Amino acid sequence: MAKQKDLSGAQTPEEFAREELRRHREAAGLTQDGLGERIFTSGAYVGQMECGTRRLRPEIAELIDKVFGTGDYFVRLAKAFKSKYEEYFAEAAELERLATAIYEYASTLVPGLLQTAEYARAVMRGGNPTAIAEYVDGLVQFRRERARILDDPSSPEMWVVLHEAVLRTAVGGPAVMAAQLRHISGCVRAHRITVQVVPFSAGAQGALGSLVTIMQFADAPDVVYTEGPSVGQLVDYPALVQRHWKLYDLARAAALSPEVSLTLIESVAEEYARCAQT
């Protein structure tokens, strides 16, 4: 799903970089696997960069320049990529738009794709208590733009596992939480997403960490994204991806059924609504 060229027919920086990478690789007589070995990644990763499902990152570009003896040519191409997201999340945001299926686990906060504007604002403000309103509004807008991928009624498929702490952490206050949980239940009742809740009673079972996202693609291997405060990591090594899948399946096994989870979510939403009224 490569980006379209602009109306003038000129290439975007991303398209030019992809073609240059492929041209230099073929000129060097290297397969995708061969180049992958030299830049300490996989042939699949190289293929994803060449077809546009992964962006050319500066640290990878530096290794590519060394392989091809191109000075800082590919580093400069990589720096031409502009993203409205933080550097640690930019590539994950791009992959998110290309995924055919997204599987998320969250331990304390509602995942970004499901956040309402007011919930997102409370989260952003919590991490930026002295930021000006315009800055926070911009962050909220970016997050809401990401959520537009769910406007499609069928793709990507989305399965979300929430720890019960997500429901009980009163981000933004009772009114915001009531609206947020109702938004989630609305998505479930519209058959757009599947949600399960890991109850407190499950104990250590089903605990994956702060935030884990597994993305699947039509023509590329699965990728895992993990995130902590102001830091994120993409994982594509098959053994580690499989390890995350195993942990995710354990979380689903420890969680309540989708039907019982929905009942719990709506019950907690009503609790918040009653609290907001009083």
User: What would the pLDDT profile of 51-81 be if each residue is shown by its tens digit?
Assistant: 876 778 888 899 999 999 999 999 888 877 6
- Tell me the mean pLDDT in the region 24-42: 92
pLDDT level of residue 237 (50, 70, 90 thresholds):
confident
- Tell me the mean pLDDT in the region 209-235: 84
- Tell me the mean pLDDT in the region 212-233: 85
pLDDT in tens, 146-200: 889 999 888 899 999 999 999 999 999 999 999 999 999 999 999 999 999 999 9
If you search the block for the tokens 């550097």, which residue do you land on? Answer: 87
SS3 269: helix
Helix (H) or strand (E) holding 74: helix 73-79
Q: Which fold has domain 87-277?
A: Endonuclease; Chain A (3.30.870)
What is the pLDDT of the chain when averaged over all its residues? Answer: 88
Domain boundaries, the chain: 13-79, 87-277
Prior bond to 156 cis, omega within 30?
Answer: yes
Please report the pLDDT score of residue 230 as a whole number.
Answer: 65
* Two structure tokens written together for 144: 């809401």
Task: Work out the percent of the chain whose per-residue pLDDT is above 90.
Answer: 55
pLDDT in tens, 17-32: 889 999 999 999 999 9
Q: Residue 2 above 70 pLDDT? A: no
Please report the pLDDT score of residue 87 as a whole number.
Answer: 62
Residue 253: which residues within 8 A CB-CB, separation 6 or more? 205, 206
Q: Which CATH superfamily is domain 13-79 in?
A: lambda repressor-like DNA-binding domains (1.10.260.40)
Q: Residue 235 above 80 pLDDT? A: yes
Nearest to 228 by CA among 213, 214, 244, 210: 210
